[in-house]
Amino acid sequence: MSFASIRIITEDVDRLVTFYERVTGQAAVRPAPVFAQLVSPGATLAIASPVTVAVLGDAVTPAANRSVVVEFQVADVDAEFARLEPELTDVVLAPTTMGWGNRSALFRDPDGNLVNLFSRPTA
């Protein structure tokens, strides 16, 4: 088995794609207007319209996540946070060194999903 992706279902694919393109600094692959992917060596983040999961009925609700954190490992949390901060509307945690040594900054995307930029401690 191979982990393929995390998919965020949203009512506004364009808005969320633009947000994550800004966060990651990479362009999304858009095979259809209702679907996009940001592919990196470590993971793939897919962003899709509810029509892509319509067969599931009400099993998926856009903008309702309160249990999953989308995480990106970065070289410099403070620099990335400073770059993004002017556009962030919901900062949950400014850059902070966590008790286990990681440096993290957490904020919400336009749909309210929690995003963590983190770096591991250096030796």
Split at pLDDT 50, 70, 90, the class of 2 is confident
- Per-residue tokens: 58: 């009400």
Residues 45-59: pLDDT tens digits? Answer: 999 999 999 999 999
End-to-end CA distance of the chain: 33
Closest CA to 48 of 7, 15, 18: 7
Residues 31, 41 contacting (CB under 8 angstroms) = no
What value does the mean pLDDT take over residues 64-73? Answer: 95
What value does the mean pLDDT take over residues 82-104? Answer: 97
Residues 6+ apart with CB under 8 A from 10: 16, 47, 48, 49, 62, 63, 111
Split at pLDDT 50, 70, 90, the class of 31 is very high
Considering only residues 123 and 66, tell me which one the structure prediction assigns the higher pLDDT.
66
What is the per-residue pLDDT for 42?
Answer: 86
pTM: 0.94
Round to whole Å and give the CA distance between 20 and 84.
Answer: 11
Give the chain's domains with CATH numbers.
1-50 (3.30.720.120), 67-123 (3.10.180.10)
Q: Which residues of 48-66 are buried (b: 16+ CB within 10 A; e: fewer)?
A: bbeebeeeeeeeeebeebe
